[in-house]
Structure 1
Amino acid sequence: MNRNQVLPQVQLSADPSSLKRVDFCAPQSYKGAGFLSISDIPRVAEEVSTVVSGDGFNWDLETHFEDSPGSDPRQILELGLKGRLHLVCQRCLQDCAVDLDEKRRFILVTSELEADDYPLEDEEQEPLVASQQFNLLETIEDEVLLSIPLIPKHPEGFCEPHASVFGGEDGGEVEDKRENPFNILKNMKKN
């Protein structure tokens, strides 16, 4: 590819079904943005506790070519994700809104072998195998799943007590009426 050659830039559609087949092998760059609701990304939908209006992810994507010493220019894909989903708080077992704001950078490679040979110590970008029918929607879904916290929790001090475990039927606290086991010893000492 000639360094001075200006590549056409293709605008990606925001429609989720059009993201399932993107030709990253073509000599062009891509740009796009859109919103994916939780129902558009079914593996994420399996993880959420409830779906609230407005839950989902804004995504933006841009590809460009960077010079690579000793080889042809490499295509770089930059992906941004920002959104919210609801998970079960592991402290109080109630719904917990989780906000995600992620930026990812990928280098597009031509084969699985090339991806396997990519240096692991490069933490700034990961290899992705480009194809003529690349499923960008699946990649976005993968990145959302990887960004979900392993143990979702409300911020410290924001958890509501779980009424069926800690409270009575009216939701109030149940008083601890057990007697202190050391009171018996205290009484023995007095006698």
Structure 2
Amino acid sequence: MDRNHALPQVQLPAEPNALRRIDFCAPQSYKGSGFLSIPDLPRVAEEVTAVLPGDGFDWDIKTHFESLPGSESHQIMELGLKGRLHLTCQRCLQGCAVELDEKRQFIFLATESQADEYPPEDEDREPLVASQQFNLLETIEDEILLSIPLIPKHPEGFCEPHTPVFGEDDEDEVPAERENPFNILKNMKKN
């Protein structure tokens, strides 16, 4: 008999604080979805340049048990993230919206040493250590932070034009010939 059909499926709460203590050691599978705003994610909030209406992330999670060849059954978690945040474009230094749409799979293991020994060639699943008070909110936030581009920028051709600052001339104007700064010294010597 398939273990997934024999185990109860628990609906995860959508409230951020309730996601801080999930019992992934219990013999049950989980399913849930919700929306996390930027203030719900303090480490992500440190990265953004502005928070606009609609910024944040829809998340959905499903878990199931799977038997691996030659070992016991492990809980697999599928995490989907879709949302938007605002960062600084590294081309024009103006704010730009960054859309993220990520899907990840994790495998829960019993100990830290099992997670360390998990085969690195299995790139499809990242190992996590199951606990009775697993912080799912922190894992979601980690995945958002890992998905943020290292160099955020607008799509090609969408950067806002550079606005002159500190009396810079417009690009269309021909720059005037600069006066030699040592002319003042030369005039002082004459006096």
The question of a shared fold, defined as TM-score above 0.5 by the shorter chain, is answered with yes
Aligned-pair distance for 1:54?
Answer: 0.7
Please tell me whether residue 67 in structure 1 is matched to residue 94 in structure 2: no
Please tell me whether residue 42 in structure 1 is matched to residue 42 in structure 2: yes
The residue aligned with 2:27 is 27
TM-score, length-normalised on structure 2? 0.87
Q: In 1, distance between residues paired with 2:167 and 2:153?
A: 20
Matches within 5 A, 1:1-191: 3=2, 6-165=6-165, 173=171, 175-177=173-175
Cα–Cα, structure 1 residues 94 and 73, in superposed 2: closer, same or farther, change >3 Å? same
Q: In 2, distance between residues paired with 1:149 and 1:167?
A: 33
Aligned-pair distance for 1:164?
Answer: 3.3
- 1:166–1:173 Cα contact (<8 Å) kept: no
For 2:175, give the aligned amino acid.
Answer: K
The Cα offsets for residues 80-124 of structure 1, whole Å up to 9 and x where unpaired, read as 000000000000010100000000000000111000000111110
The answer for unaligned runs of 5 or more in structure 2 is: 178-191
The number of aligned residues is 176
The Cα offsets for residues 166-190 of structure 1, whole Å up to 9 and x where unpaired, read as 9859xx64524267xxxxxxxxxxx
TM-score, length-normalised on structure 1? 0.87
- 1:34–1:59 Cα contact (<8 Å) kept: yes
The 3-state SS of whatever aligns with 2:72 is: strand
Cα–Cα, structure 1 residues 69 and 167, in superposed 2: closer, same or farther, change >3 Å? farther
Q: In 1, distance between residues paired with 2:70 and 2:56?
A: 42
Percent identity between matched residues is: 71
For 1:78, give the aligned amino acid.
Answer: E
The answer for unaligned runs of 5 or more in structure 1 is: 180-191
RMSD of Structure 2 on Structure 1 (CA): 1.9
